[in-house]
Structures are given as structure tokens and as C-alpha cells.
Structure 1
Amino acid sequence: MFDTEVLARLEAMLDALADLPVASASDAQTCETLRRLAHAADRLAGLQAVWLDQMQERAAYEAEGASSTAGWARRELRWDVRQSRAAIAAGRTLRVLPAVGAAHRAGEIRRAHVDAFTVALKKADREVVEAAEDVMLDVARVCEPGELTAQLTMLVEVAHPEDLDRAYVAGMDKHDLTIARCGEGYHVNGFLDAVNGTRLRTWLTAASAPRGTEDDRTPAQRRVDAVGDLAAAALEHGLPSDRGVRPQVNVMVDAAWLAGLPGAEPPVLTGWGPVGPGLFDYLACGADRTDVLVAGVTSSTTPQADILNVGRTHRLATYKQRQAVLARQGGVCANPACGGTHLELHHVAWWDRDGGRTDLDNLAGLCPRCHQLVHAGKLWVVADGQRGFVFSRRKGARILEIEDHHRVQRQRLSARLRGLREMRGAPVAPPAPPPAREPVRARRCSRPRPDPLSRIESHLDRLLRLRT
């Protein structure tokens, strides 16, 4: 039986919570209350999506003279059409993917994570998303929505590589570049396709690097100055009369993809992202090639591409070694807690202090800030014995290992995707829901809680069961 009194009691509890003296709360109580309010708000957002999906399925909006669910929400909830459609789609996702719905009801994932699953369902076949649902839920439980979106995007790209080429062709049709006089200078506006945009970005990244410690220009100012220097050099020395100079753009290709193995990840244009087979053929046709032998991934705490060692005994790394390090780390700082892309090569076993060799097993690409922290003794990195590295930091009197949730989950996803191509031709039964897991916040909040919040949470649990 549907108990409407649950809603009345929830509203009463919200009134009691609003009457709590905010100023009298301690700092610890403020932090804890904010965490639990966010937790409750996410669960309520999921409830709204579930009920809006029911209104859509039953056409319940007609009972109040509305022509659609979105129209009813606009009139009664003051929602715009985009907000209503997003909530309705989220409700359908919670119904179509039972494990996702269970995780959201338990407060393990946020509404933004559900929205990421919704987008994936629109772009990929339903059975593809269902086949990787358990892996993706593990990503959602430990990572932010943006990381889940990135991994779901990779899932779609593996399942539908032909879409990458269609996107490239569509980008070529949008070519546009204008420069117009505006006030004290010029306004530049335009759209570049993947290849030309990557060329410009690659050059700008190198040309706009800070010039010494005294360079106080902003990154935007350095980019403008770099474009000015390029134009000045071209005008001074003359424009090139042939096409003999090739851009220094890198395309990373997995050997499994070249071999045509099912489920292999598509090539990646560094600075842009995955590309389809048509664009790869175009790039490979007129480009220099550097082969980097990759043997899967390391099995360390921070998985990386397992690249053949081409080290030398010189202190400074060779060009090929630097390219290998960039390929191994995907052009990103090796520190799991960082995303810097301006990399310096660091000897994990120091060259002068430890007698470390200039081999790939001993070279880690670090951004300047992380490199400085290592030499300042505030960040530690050691080899793990499996051609990978482990980073640690200090927290009070303890030294804590920095876990790389993102890379670990990506490797799990890559392993799962290897069989997706073979599964696309046959019906795939949805995986069994993952075993119930105790929400992280539930363990953190096991001590006595403020009464209004606890009572609100108990009413939320009852609301979650009303529909069934």
C-alpha cells in the first residue's frame, strides 16, 4: 500500500533540520553535515528521476491536464525542458540498468554518474553497456563523474569505431578561421579539425613554455607571444615553398589494433584523442614513424604501458627514450594525483646520489611541480620491480601510498572490452547484479548522528521502497 504519510514526515524532518542553529555547529559537525546533505540530495535527485520515468510511462501528466511530462514539470516544478528530459532519461537508465539503480538507491553513486550511463546508452548498443556494467560501477564508486564519462566514451569508441571517422569528416566540414580588428587589437575565432588543431596545439604547448623562473606571464599571454614570434619568423625568413616540413604530432597505436584483434582500443592522436581507421591511414601515409614495442601493461599499483627498455648509460635521456616515456604514461605526469602534461624526466634511483642508470625502468615523466616535490623530499617515488613506479606522500606522521584508481579501473575496462566485438553479434544476458556493498559513507557515519539527519535518512529509505 502506498503510504503518503512518509512524505509528510519527511517534510517535517526537513523543517526540523532547517531550524538547527548553524552557527553553533563545530567545524567537524559542519563538514559531516555537508557530506550527509549532499548524500541525501543525490538520493532525492534519483527519486525524482524514478518518479518522472513512471509519469512518462503511464502518461500520468494527463490527469492534471498537461500534454507531456516536460510540460507538467515546467508548470509544477518550474523546470526547463532540458532539465526535465535529463531527469526522465536518468529514470529510464535506473530502470534499464538494475545494478546502477541499486547502487544509486544505496547512495554509492551520484546522479551525475547516472547521467553518464544515460549518455552511453544513447551512443552504444544496450548489450554493450550491460556487459561492462559491473566494471563501470566500480569506476563510479571510486572516481568522479568525469572519469566515468571518459571510460564510458572509450567503451562506445571500441564498440563503434566507425563513428570516429564520421566525426572527423564532420569536423572538416566546419573549417573556419577569422581574424578581425577589435578595439585595441584583433579578435581570432574559428574551428579546426582534429589534425590541424592537434598540430597547432602541439606547437603551442612547446612554444609557450615559461622562459625561466622570472617569466611571470600567464599561459594565455605566452601563447599569444608564441603566435607572434611564429608570424615574425615566417615574415622575416620567408614562407615555406614546399610541404617538406612535417608536424611533430604523435599517434599511439596498440599492436593488438594493428593485428585486427577484436576489442582492441583505437589509435590515439596525442592531444586530441581516439581516431578511426580512415584518419589513421591518412596520418600514417605521410608521416615519420617511431616504433615503440609494447607488451601489455605492468601489473603494478600504478599500471602503465609495458614498453621495451631502450635505455642508454648517458645521464640525459635520448629522444627515443623520451618518446617511450610519453607513450607509457599517455603524456601525463606519472604521479597518480596529478594531470600535468609538461613533463621532465626524473631518475627514480637518482643519477648522482644512487648511481641510477638512464634506462626506461628508471625514468619517470614528472611535471615540474611534482619533480620539485620529489627533490624537496615531500613526494616519494620508487620502482616496484615490475617496470612500474609507486608514489607515496606524508600525512602527519604516516607515509601513505598514492593509489591510482583511474588507471587501475581503465585496465579492468580494457580487459573487459577485448571480447565485446565478438559479443555484438549474439544476444548477451545482462550480468548478475554485483554483491551488496556497504556504502563508504555508511561506515564513516556509524557513530551517533544528529537526530534530524538520521530521521530524514530513514524516511528516504522508506521512500525508495514505495514504488515497489
Structure 2
Amino acid sequence: MDPKPTIDAMRIAAQTLLSGDTRDQLHALHAARDAIDAREAVLLAKLDESKDFELDGASTLNAWVRNQLRMNAGQATTLVKNVAALRDLPLLAEAAMTGQVSSAHVRVFVYGLAHVGLEPMRQFEDVFVQVAKDCEPGELFEAVKHLKDKVHPEDLDAAWERGMDKEDFAVDAVPDGFHTNGFLNTVTGSKLKMVMDSISAPRDKDDTRSGAQRRVQGLDDLLTAILANGLPSDKGVRPHMSVFVDADTLQAAADHVQAKTENPHLIPEPMPSVEPATLAGHGAIGPNLLMYFLCVSDFTAFLMKQHGGARQAEILNAGTERYQPTLLQRRAVIARQLGVCATPGCNHTHLEIHHVIWWSLGGPTDVNLLIGLCVRCHHLLHRGLLNITGNAVDGFNFTNRNHHPIRRRRTHYRQAA
């Protein structure tokens, strides 16, 4: 292939670097790089055909490019594959050699030749080259894939059947959380995507959460609602998460977290050697997470008798002690904050009710000592990264882990009627 178009692209780039503005320079450099990639692909294919890489002691082309060009072998293989498309599609070759399309665009044509066929790709070559000039590679791929679906509709059903054969979904406990992994067939996957798109959409123009934060929070909200209302009960007991903790562990965790919260600059005493709290289905959890669960969950105390050193125990008595706010108290707290998280600068509206004086440390379920926090801020608090003191009458004070004050949002607090 004639190297002149590549030389011209490099010459234009050099001239633009000396006289053009910043935008022109970027355009020229980008075009030159694409033209060089196309020329490099041609030369690599020529080297592969001649086997001249053996002259430098390399047994394969990939070995030669790793040693001589310090190029990733995968990159070299991709460039060599691109040459087939450049040879078979002359309009594409011209656009690539002049830097009008990138090597990523050429890879889409390689996909088209393999999965659509040479004749259909030649038939629509002018259309696809224009798409490549105007759009990024993803849009070109969608256009080529659309042609594939029209030319080979039987492949769509074959793909669906393959998906049915390999579908699987697993949620596995790992030390720092849960790992989800699997593959869903077309129908089930579409249902999941529809749900996730719905629950993870930005709330409004001021929703600054990342996509990952919106998806995780949306899934958490959905699962919370399902566990609370959407699953059938078994003899009056709905499915729920369970945390099991000994009284000694609970007291030690409360003392440990309180000491760390009150004196963040000091290294707290290590937790005593007690049985760790256990989250059913996951395993042992630490004191901070235990305190968080205690803050948002119902609590049932059991009097138990251990049988020797075994963990199996006999329940002698069971009792309950209400610490969850009533529905009226929850509504009062949310109304007092105008439905927004109390933390300064946070505008999230899905709130959990927190005892400012922790219930595990003797705090009462008093509406003036309750505060509404979004899930993220509530987690920050129980990790010791956010501290809250005061009450709804005099105002709440927010400090970071070093007890430096965070701007108080006074206007969101008013005495509940």
C-alpha cells in the first residue's frame, strides 16, 4: 500500500504544531496517529509474511514486537488482523491511511468480515466508512451488528439458546462483603436491567452520586423494601437478616466504638478476646458494623445456657425491648429535616433514624435525640468518620473524625409540633 497518505498526515501534523491553535494541533496529531497505526499494521503484516523477525532471533512476530518495539503482543496481533480489512475494503484503507478513522474503527470492520461476511460488508462499505468518520467505534459496532442481525437472524436464537445453557448467578461471602457473579439469559437479564435502570436513575439535576453509588443504593433500597413487604411470611415470620452476638461482645463493642469516637487521636485499646458477632450467611463482623446493625435493626435478647464448650445453646428465656422509633417519631424527625439528610452538604432523601446518644450506650428513644441520616452518612458515622452531638432543640453539631466542626445546617431543625 502506498505510504504517501501516511507521510502527508505526518507532514500536516508537523506544520500544525508550528502554526495552529491548540484544537487544530490535537486534531492533526490524532489524525497522524491513526494514519501511523494503519501503516504500522501493514508493515507488521509484511514482516509476519516474510518471517524476517527471525533475523533478530525471534521465533514469532509477537516475540519480535515485545523485544524490539516494546509493544504488547495483543496490540500487535490486533494490528495484524486489521490488515485483512484494509486489503479487502479499499474505502476503509484510504480512510485509515489518511488518519480519518482509527485502528479501533478498523477492528469493527474486522468483526464485520468475520461475522457478517465479505460481500455484505462490501455492499455497505461506503455507509460504514462514513459512520466511522463521524462517530466513535461503539456506534459503528452497533451499525455493523445491526447488519449482522439482518443477514444472520438465526444467530440471534442460537445466542439465546447458548445463554440459557450457561445461565448462573451466585452471591458469595468474601471477607470484605459479598461478591456477585454470573450470567443471565436474555429475558432474565432484560428484567434485571429494567429494574436497575429504574432504581439507579439520578433523582434530579442536583444528584451528584456516581453511577456505582446510585446502583448500589438503589439495589439496597429495593432489597430493603422486598424484605419488609414483598416476600411471604412463614408462620408470621418474614425473611430477614440476622446478626447473633453475645452480651459480652455487645458490651465490648459498644465500649470500643465509644472510646474510638470520643478520642480519635488516640489508639483505642484492642477489643478483648470475645466471640465475634456473626452475620448469618456471611460470617464474623467487626464492632463498627455491629453497632450499625444495632442502630437500624430490631433487637431481641435471649437468655441462653451453653452446653460445655460447644456453641450449641439452650434458650432459657427470650425478651424484647423496644428501641426503634415509632412511626410518628420517624415522621416527626423527617418533617423536622424537611425530608433531607441532616449532614451538612448532603441532600439525599432516603433516611435512616439514628440515636444521637447511641441506644447501645443508654440513649433514649426521644424525638429530640433522634436524627435522620442517609445510608452513606450513617455508615460514615459508624465508621468513626462523622460525629454528631447536641439535640434538636439547641441544634446538632457535626464534626469529622478529628473533631473539626462541619458547617451546621440550622434551618433544617425546628421543634416538632
Please tell me the TM-score bracket, short chain as reference: 0.3 to 0.5
TM-score normalised per structure 1: 0.42
More contact order relative to length (CA 8 Å, sep ≥ 6): 1
Larger Rg computed on CA atoms:
2
TM-score normalised per structure 2: 0.47
